[in-house]
Structure 1
Amino acid sequence: MSSASSNSPFENGVMLYMAYLSKEGLQTFKQFLVDENPRPGSVQITWDQVKTARWGEVVHLLVEFFPGRLAWDVTHDIFAKMNQTELCLRVQMELNYILPNLEPEDSNPKEIPVNLEEGESDKIQEYKVHVTDEYSMIRTMTTWSGSHVDFLYQDIERHERFLPCLFLPKRPQARQPKTVVLQGVAGVGKTSLAKKVMLEWAESKFCHHKCRCAFYFHCREMAQVDEQSFAELIARKWPGSRALMSKIMSKPDQLLLLFDGFEEVSLTLTDRPADLSDDWNQKLPGPVLLTSLLSKRMLPEATLLVAFRFTSWRKLKPFLKHPSFITLTGFSMAERAKYFRTYFGNKRDADEALRFVTGNTVLFSMCQVPAVCWMVCSCLRQQMQRGADLAQAYPNATAVFVQYLSGFFATKPGSPPRNTHQTRLAGLCYLAAEGMWDTRWVFDTKDLEQARLDETAVATFLRVNIFQRVAGDRDRYAFAILSFQEFFAALLYVLCFPQRLRNFRVLDRVQIIRLIAYPGRKKTYPAQMGLFLSGLLNETCASAAGKSFGCKLSLGNKKKLLKVAALLHECGPPTPHHGVPQLFYCLHEIQEEAFVRQTLSDCQKAALIISKKKDMQVSAFCLKHCQHLRDLELTMTLTVPYVGTLSPDPLHSAEPESSDLCFLWWQEFCSVFRTHENLEVLTLTNTSLEAESVKVLSAALRHPGCKLQKLIFRRVHPSMLNEDLIQVLIENQYLSYLEIQGTEMRREAMEFLCTALKCPQCYLQYLRLEDCSVTPKSWVDLAKDLGSNKR
């Protein structure tokens, strides 16, 4: 996406070692800091500015008040006074690294803040009180509206750590980013974090020294029919502030503007520079005003925090200037484990539930979204209370959504007639699917009418939290969780419509390609819908769905999917930088080996990047069915823990995501080298494997059933080239080609290689070493051994 993209505000941040200070140590540091003499012409740091500041805010103050290397010199001096020898060393190391890129000490002198009169300061304080009242509700968000009495709310701990560091100055220039993007899938807390920023600012805990005023804007505020100015927007949020805002606008670098809700409106940003304006008093159409602000045409010195889903990036990319990205991923593995432990309340049930869900990495990854995590826990508990076998109850991840969502359609005394029930379900699915294909997540009364959803149906969906009203608008609705929309959209294509000539809605080739063909790591919005569709095409899941929803289902699209999927192999594999193909994920969700085998029968080449455990599980499952596979290119960035080092307790281990299964999946993955007789080429690129993982791979390559002919290593970790792996050259008589590129060849590796080359059982005919770090002596030894090789 961008070189500035990261998963964390800490990436490339400066002075991260400040986080090592204890609470008491940070207070001591701040006391020394206020006694430091600023450079001439600057403003003295006061105790009021640092009193409530956390370490990230202290870094801001240091870089701002002590330009250039002065910030590091001051930090070093204070650490020395505190006898923090190790931290002094870290300061010096960082300074040496970034010094060539730091701005000169006399550049960009600190601007004098706006001088406010007593009444004006009081007015800002009144606004802060208003903001506190408005956003304090996020601290009491412990329930989900409706009848879900078992709903459990849990904070996302990383967000608390992110808060003080969202605008942390970055290497190498130690500049604070002026535009920060919060990106992530729906439901992982982007809006909550943005509102927490407002709350922390109002309580003088965030950007207190930097930002006089902060304003949160939902994009619907820009979607008004009438033209409006930025001044009018502010006036609605802060009545009676016109005169004071004029003063603050004279120093726009002291403004913090937050933008959210891009997916809830149909704004088309303008790409005509001539339409944009730098006048904050000028009335403009909503899209033009928003574009003027995002592109920094208006208020270029202001600091922006912009929150959106991955799917909005393409629309917003042309307008954001040098953004710094922070990816919110929702619950970490440890937080998911903690959630299960808290929800179930006893270790036995929590262990059983977590053991099941970590065995399905796709389902476990969905639990990153807090509301989905609760939904999964709720469903598992219901089945466990009945004494059901979880693996039979849930053949795939989709089956969990079937159970949860079908519960709202179950026929009960007083329920609407069967025809009405089915009409509502079909209408809901139609609405969801139309929204998915058109990238719409918010629906108005016209959309509901087209889907034949009347007021009673809408009220029912609101009551059970399938729908929710869009904030500030009673006539616009969205699915409470995006996964609900994705599920019902998929369900449309397995519903049976007896009155139609073909009793199911037929997916065309282009639609199927959009659902199953895109690589798994590419953030395309139909991918999850494709996963749900695949899950519903599993006959066991489809049967359960038909009974649970009280309707007939058709698997007519299953043959169409098979036909299109088979054609994909003729176009070659996806580009390797995208990871595991989406098709692999869909086939894993179908969980029918005969169907998977038929779909992959013509697959001859696979290019995979395995960075997550779900990549490993899905790839291991699918590759064993690629019976005609000839060429495998693998990039492995996932560390596979050895079973012997694992914690027996999945809830309290450092890696709760069933690491023992991961090692078994790696063994299953490597088994293809001894079972697939057509597999001739293995390329490992940018890969680092632990010794035990190399041992598993080596054993598979040495197996008599392995017919591999070419083995290629490109930029792999030098430790991989150990005796186990080199021994393959002796024991695999089919292997005739070895290529190593861009890899350090350690002395031991060269010795192993030379020994193998001298062995009569080595059938190697072609050896290529390119851009490898090798000692001169090793080159000489290699030349001798090549000369003695009879082949």
Structure 2
Amino acid sequence: MQKSKSPESSVASVTSDQSTDPPQNYRGHTELTFSHDHLHAEVHKTFRSNLLTKFQCVSEGTATDKSPTLLNEIYTELYITEGDSGEINNEHEVRQIETQSRRSTTEDTPIQCRDIFTALPGQHKAIRTVLTKGVAGIGKTVSVQKFILDWAEEKENQDVQLIFPLPFREINLMKDRTLSLADLLHVFFPETKEMEISRDGYKVLFIFDGLDECRLSLDFNSGVKLCDISESASVEDLLMNLIAGNLLPSALIWITSRPAAADLIPSAFVHRLTEVRGFTDPQKEEYFRKRIRDQRLADEIIQHLKSCRSLFIMCHIPVFCWISATVLEEMMRGSRKGEIPKTLTEMYTHFLIIQTCIRHEKHYEKKLKDEEMILKLGKLAFRQLMKGNLIFYEEDLRECGIDESEASVYSGLCTQIFREELGLFQGKVFCFVHLSIQEHLAALYVLLSFLLYERDELSENRRSKYAHWFKRQTISDLHQRAVDKALQSRNGHLDLFLRFLLGLSLKSNQRLLNNHLTQVGNISYSQEKTVEYIKTQIKMNPSPEKSINLFLCLNELGDHSLVNEVQEYVRSGDLSGSRFSSSQWSAVVFILLTLEQLDEFNLRRYVIGYGHQTQTQKFQTPDKVLQKLLPVVEASRSAVLFDCGISDKGCAALASALRSNSSNLRELDLSYNIVGDSGVKLLSAGLKDPHCKLEKLRLRCCGVSDEGCADLASVLRSNSSNLRELELSKNINVGDSGVKLLSAGLKDPHCKLEKLRLGYCGVSDEGCAALASVLRSNSSNLRELDLSDNKIVDSGVKRLSAGLKDPQCKLETLRLINCDVSGKGCAALASALRSNSSNLRELNLSENKVGDSGVKRLSAGLKDPHCKLEKLTLNYCGVSDASCADLASALRSNSSNLRELNLKWNRVEGIGVKWLSDLRDDPHYKLETLHISWGFIC
């Protein structure tokens, strides 16, 4: 959002016809504005002061903390990116975090919190409504708090006159009310009663935090249209008309939500979709160094978390950083003895114990035992987890036998939000600090119910006449049912619950619970039976996500046998000769996805024996190895499969990876493989899928002909394709016919391709004619073209030059190495350089018959005021000292923009070098790099 001294809003209305662009000059609606007298100034000052008081502190989960921390002392900038309006991800949020930890951020443009309404470079559309999504605990609410605090402290966004924070969890308490927007604001912000409503334009911002907590029926097709802020209606109608732009069209709107609820707002009303992705690895370290004053201790904590991969991954979530800091600071300082947590279960169990001890230290009246309260909270957690609820109200607590005053005692576990200024509508809203805490308590409840009361909460028949069969059940049976239920879950919502349930059954965690919370006696069960059951499920080859979670379950149980079996093979880098079972291949995938830092996946590391096997060796084919490691390919940003022996079978597997909703693949290099046209056809089907994100495809020397070019052209014409770069060099059978097919695709309005490499593809001047028509096309986005090692000759260069001079041409880089270009071709290129329409910045004519006559013509073009060329390469072009005089003349010209000149392997000796070197003192000389070879080759 740009700062402005003018109070007039720069953003207008979103009308109820779901138009996506706000009108540029809106007039005629009633707006929320205030008079500029002394009373207003005082009221405005009070309003800002109240927000400052409310939002300057953060208690990181414990709402009743007596000494909250100043937000500015610990605030660490979060990683926020501009998202897309694609399919909503309904996977378990921890699974999303674990997937996100493997996702590269190099292709994203980060947005700072203060700039949430500021358009990115190249964006010109006004931004009225922003929807920010992110998993629970990722930092959405803290981002909102920081935005408001910076405004209240008059640091940022001072072009906004008023900010109205309206969390959905509090709006829910008024869902049955009928009132006007003005009345609603009076309820939440009593100061607004002193402000007058007139037609003076004020820019105001409404922030609706927590759309996933909304219990209103948001039906944007209801047809209720409100344009006057004094008109009474239901709260849900007020909100919908405000979001749709019927009420206060000049107001800015910011909505935050967990991903699963983000589609409650129609995309037509959202001008920017952003995603809070938590902390990057450097931001994690920054948080701990701000949060923990003792820097030596902070370093120890960071190193411990880095040594436990699953814990460090979870640190993407700021709330988990707080949990970890709370636990590890106390334990490493020595105030609480015990083994430092290395698994999620250990971390959360210690956190639970610390919160319970805080209760004792505060001398709360102990009306019931810790065990009873934990069971009650666990019952609430389990029941609401099964219903998919994160937010609960007093009636939900009462169903589990919890008195709200008891819950407030355990404020580290169950946060109480209490707004006295709501007047008649005081109410309490409860939630666990994070979904993972809810899952930990739910797992503890299920385990304790089993051990203390012989009650199986996971059984479908726990209330049936067969309940007496329970006595025959063991903990291993309970584990198996939990594994089955987790595997049956389509979105993985029981994955973390399962990890906790298994981890809590370990003797080490039981000792922790016995010492602090409850006495359950010694648990006797066969851990080996549980481990073998999990291994059997892995062997049955479930989806990669479920397989990875099962390995993490084994990790919670302290069993690393499968991983250890194959880890040496992975480190050796030769999997092609390994006779792995399906469970061992799952272990390989697990190792690569969780223990490796993935950005680029290089298949050659794992098939190094291919092509060198003896007759007695039984090697896995590269296609089969690729199929086994496909989840790793999907998780990587770049896949390098260079010269691996991949055939069309491997291409079929890659096509499925490209179609995957979870694929992160942006670059794919299949050069020097036996792909052929059949493989290209399979890949093309994947490239056209809406989920495909691939931007760079390299198929150098892959046996592609004009038939494959037809399929690639269909990809270029596809609205779904994101392809920006295509490499087809050394496919001699592409020919002019293939180039013509590709050219038709390049001219399509949907085509996004910017770089095309066709070196040694059998292209002649006929193909150049087709490419010239692309350069003249208004739809083409081509910025770079490589036609090296083709028989282009001067006639082809003339055709290309005609395209370069067209006003529609966007080409900036042209490579014509070894294309039989002579002085005549250089004359045509010089003509293009002199054209006002040409955008050429880089030209490579190496290994051509340019000679002194060609350089003379190019030099004339370089001196033209319209010439934009910055890099010229003329290696091995028969250039002599005589040419250097012409080049020196061009470089002395005030019009020349040349920054780099390459003249290697030419007949440039003493006098030519002197002419070029003496230019350095010329005021018009702009050259930064000059390459000259003193040995000359004729």
TM-score by length of 2: 0.51
1:506 aligns with 2:459: yes
1:191 aligns with 2:141: yes
Question: What is the alpha-carbon distance in structure 2 between the residues aligned to residue 669 and residue 388 of structure 1?
Answer: 49
Give the equivalent residue in structure 1 for 2:327. 379
Contiguous gaps of at least 5 residues in structure 2? 13-20, 81-110, 420-425, 462-479, 572-577, 610-617, 659-664, 685-695, 713-725, 735-759, 763-938
Native 8 Å contact 1:710 1:738 kept in 2? no
Larger Rg over CA atoms: 2
Native 8 Å contact 2:138 2:277 kept in 1? yes
Native 8 Å contact 2:503 2:557 kept in 1? no
Give the equivalent residue in structure 1 for 2:768. none
Structure 1 residues 120 and 427, CA gap change in structure 2 (3 angstroms) = same
Give the equivalent residue in structure 1 for 2:624. 680
Structure 1 residues 201 and 130, CA gap change in structure 2 (3 angstroms) = same
Give the equivalent residue in structure 1 for 2:262. 313
Question: What is the alpha-carbon distance in structure 1 between the residues aligned to residue 517 and residue 324 of structure 2?
Answer: 18
Native 8 Å contact 2:210 2:256 kept in 1? yes
For residues 616-652 of structure 1, what are the alpha-carbon distances to aligned partners after superposition, in whole Å with 9 as ceiling and x for unaligned? 99xxxxxx998227999x999x999xxxxxxxxxxxx
The one-letter amino acid paired with 1:306 is: I
The one-letter amino acid paired with 1:584 is: I
Native 8 Å contact 2:599 2:637 kept in 1? no
Native 8 Å contact 1:738 1:768 kept in 2? no
User: Any residues of structure 2 matched to 1:531-550 within 5 Å, and which?
Assistant: 531-536=499-504, 540-541=508-509, 544-545=512-513, 548-550=516-518
Question: What is the alpha-carbon distance in structure 2 between the residues aligned to residue 669 and residue 573 of structure 1?
Answer: 26
The one-letter amino acid paired with 2:187 is: R
The one-letter amino acid paired with 1:376 is: S
The one-letter amino acid paired with 2:177 is: D
Q: Which residue, out of 622, 625, 628, partners 2:582?
A: 628
1:774 aligns with 2:728: yes
Structure 1 residues 351 and 454, CA gap change in structure 2 (3 angstroms) = same
Question: What is the alpha-carbon distance in structure 2 between the residues aligned to residue 49 and residue 193 of structure 1?
Answer: 26
Question: What is the alpha-carbon distance in structure 1 between the residues aligned to residue 335 and residue 191 of structure 2?
Answer: 63
Structure 1 residues 594 and 239, CA gap change in structure 2 (3 angstroms) = closer
Structure 1 residues 402 and 110, CA gap change in structure 2 (3 angstroms) = same
For residues 359-408 of structure 1, what are the alpha-carbon distances to aligned partners after superposition, in whole Å with 9 as ceiling and x for unaligned? 33332233234343133134234444559999x74342221111121244
1:400 aligns with 2:344: no
Native 8 Å contact 1:359 1:661 kept in 2? no
Give the equivalent residue in structure 2 for 1:233. 184
Native 8 Å contact 2:59 2:65 kept in 1? no
1:588 aligns with 2:552: yes
Question: What is the alpha-carbon distance in structure 2 between the residues aligned to residue 299 and residue 635 of structure 1?
Answer: 53
Give the equivalent residue in structure 2 for 1:157. 77
Question: What is the alpha-carbon distance in structure 2 between the residues aligned to residue 776 and residue 670 of structure 1?
Answer: 25
1:471 aligns with 2:422: no
For residues 489-525 of structure 1, what are the alpha-carbon distances to aligned partners after superposition, in whole Å with 9 as ceiling and x for unaligned? 2222222445755455437999867745668xx7x76
Q: Which residue, out of 597, 601, 617, partners 1:662?
A: 597
Structure 1 residues 312 and 566, CA gap change in structure 2 (3 angstroms) = farther
Native 8 Å contact 2:35 2:197 kept in 1? no
Question: What is the alpha-carbon distance in structure 1 between the residues aligned to residue 635 and residue 235 of structure 2?
Answer: 49
Query: How much has 1:451 moved relative to structure 2?
Result: 1.6
For residues 152-202 of structure 1, what are the alpha-carbon distances to aligned partners after superposition, in whole Å with 9 as ceiling and x for unaligned? 961022489724311113576611221101222333332333244344445
User: Any residues of structure 2 matched to 1:62-73 within 5 Å, and which?
Assistant: none
The one-letter amino acid paired with 1:467 is: C
Structure 1 residues 333 and 150, CA gap change in structure 2 (3 angstroms) = farther
Query: How much has 1:563 moved relative to structure 2?
Result: 7.3
For residues 641-671 of structure 1, what are the alpha-carbon distances to aligned partners after superposition, in whole Å with 9 as ceiling and x for unaligned? xxxxxxxxxxxxxxxxx9x963899899976
User: Any residues of structure 2 matched to 1:353-502 within 5 Å, and which?
Assistant: 353-385=301-333, 393-409=340-356, 420-454=369-403, 457-462=406-411, 465-472=412-419, 473=426, 475-497=428-450, 500=453, 502=455
Q: Percent identity?
A: 17
Contiguous gaps of at least 5 residues in structure 1? 1-8, 10-17, 19-29, 31-44, 51-56, 65-102, 575-579, 602-615, 618-623, 641-657, 730-734, 755-766, 784-791
User: Any residues of structure 2 matched to 1:68-467 within 5 Å, and which?
Assistant: 108-109=24-25, 119-120=36-37, 122-123=39-40, 126-141=43-58, 154-158=74-78, 162-169=112-119, 174-202=124-152, 206-209=156-159, 211-219=160-168, 220-221=170-171, 223-224=173-174, 225-237=176-188, 239=190, 246-248=197-199, 254-264=203-213, 266-270=215-219, 272-275=221-224, 277-314=226-263, 316-318=264-266, 321-342=269-290, 349-385=297-333, 393-409=340-356, 420-454=369-403, 457-462=406-411, 465-467=412-414
Question: What is the alpha-carbon distance in structure 1 between the residues aligned to residue 32 and residue 181 of structure 2?
Answer: 23
SS in 2 for 1:188: coil
Native 8 Å contact 1:179 1:305 kept in 2? yes
Give the equivalent residue in structure 2 for 1:92. none
Native 8 Å contact 1:340 1:354 kept in 2? yes
SS in 2 for 1:231: helix
Native 8 Å contact 2:539 2:582 kept in 1? no
User: Any residues of structure 2 matched to 1:643-722 within 5 Å, and which?
Assistant: 662=597, 680=624, 682-683=626-627, 710=650, 720=669
Native 8 Å contact 2:32 2:248 kept in 1? no
For residues 198-254 of structure 1, what are the alpha-carbon distances to aligned partners after superposition, in whole Å with 9 as ceiling and x for unaligned? 444455555544x44432222323532432211211233555857965424x858x3
For residues 456-506 of structure 1, what are the alpha-carbon distances to aligned partners after superposition, in whole Å with 9 as ceiling and x for unaligned? 6334313xx222211315644332444322321222222244575545543
Structure 1 residues 460 and 238, CA gap change in structure 2 (3 angstroms) = closer
The one-letter amino acid paired with 1:585 is: N
Question: What is the alpha-carbon distance in structure 2 between the residues aligned to residue 514 and residue 323 of structure 1?
Answer: 40
Structure 1 residues 595 and 276, CA gap change in structure 2 (3 angstroms) = farther
Native 8 Å contact 1:631 1:681 kept in 2? no
For residues 272-298 of structure 1, what are the alpha-carbon distances to aligned partners after superposition, in whole Å with 9 as ceiling and x for unaligned? 513454443232233333233333343
After TM superposition, the structure 1 stretch with the greater mean CA deviation from structure 2, 163-172 or 324-333, is 163-172
Structure 1 residues 719 and 383, CA gap change in structure 2 (3 angstroms) = same
Structure 1 residues 543 and 383, CA gap change in structure 2 (3 angstroms) = same
Question: What is the alpha-carbon distance in structure 2 between the residues aligned to residue 629 and residue 739 of structure 1?
Answer: 29
Native 8 Å contact 2:133 2:256 kept in 1? yes
Structure 1 residues 283 and 534, CA gap change in structure 2 (3 angstroms) = farther
Structure 1 residues 592 and 532, CA gap change in structure 2 (3 angstroms) = closer
Native 8 Å contact 2:34 2:195 kept in 1? no
Higher helix fraction (1 or 2): 1
| Cα-Cα RMSD | 6.0
Question: What is the alpha-carbon distance in structure 2 between the residues aligned to residue 627 and residue 664 of structure 1?
Answer: 27
SS in 2 for 1:305: strand
Question: What is the alpha-carbon distance in structure 2 between the residues aligned to residue 196 and residue 49 of structure 1?
Answer: 24
Question: What is the alpha-carbon distance in structure 2 between the residues aligned to residue 709 and residue 629 of structure 1?
Answer: 23
Native 8 Å contact 1:258 1:304 kept in 2? yes
Question: What is the alpha-carbon distance in structure 2 between the residues aligned to residue 455 and residue 111 of structure 1?
Answer: 50
Question: What is the alpha-carbon distance in structure 1 between the residues aligned to residue 602 and residue 343 of structure 2?
Answer: 22
SS in 2 for 1:269: coil
Question: What is the alpha-carbon distance in structure 1 between the residues aligned to residue 130 and residue 234 of structure 2?
Answer: 25
Which protein, 1 or 2, shows the higher relative CO under an 8 Å CA cutoff with sep ≥ 6? 1
Give the equivalent residue in structure 1 for 2:867. none
Question: What is the alpha-carbon distance in structure 2 between the residues aligned to residue 505 and residue 305 of structure 1?
Answer: 41
Question: What is the alpha-carbon distance in structure 2 between the residues aligned to residue 287 and residue 564 of structure 1?
Answer: 47
Native 8 Å contact 2:601 2:638 kept in 1? no
For residues 522-548 of structure 1, what are the alpha-carbon distances to aligned partners after superposition, in whole Å with 9 as ceiling and x for unaligned? 7x7655445434543566545654555
Give the equivalent residue in structure 2 for 1:23. none
The one-letter amino acid paired with 2:198 is: K
SS in 2 for 1:266: coil
Q: How many residues align?
A: 604
Query: How much has 1:337 moved relative to structure 2?
Result: 1.1
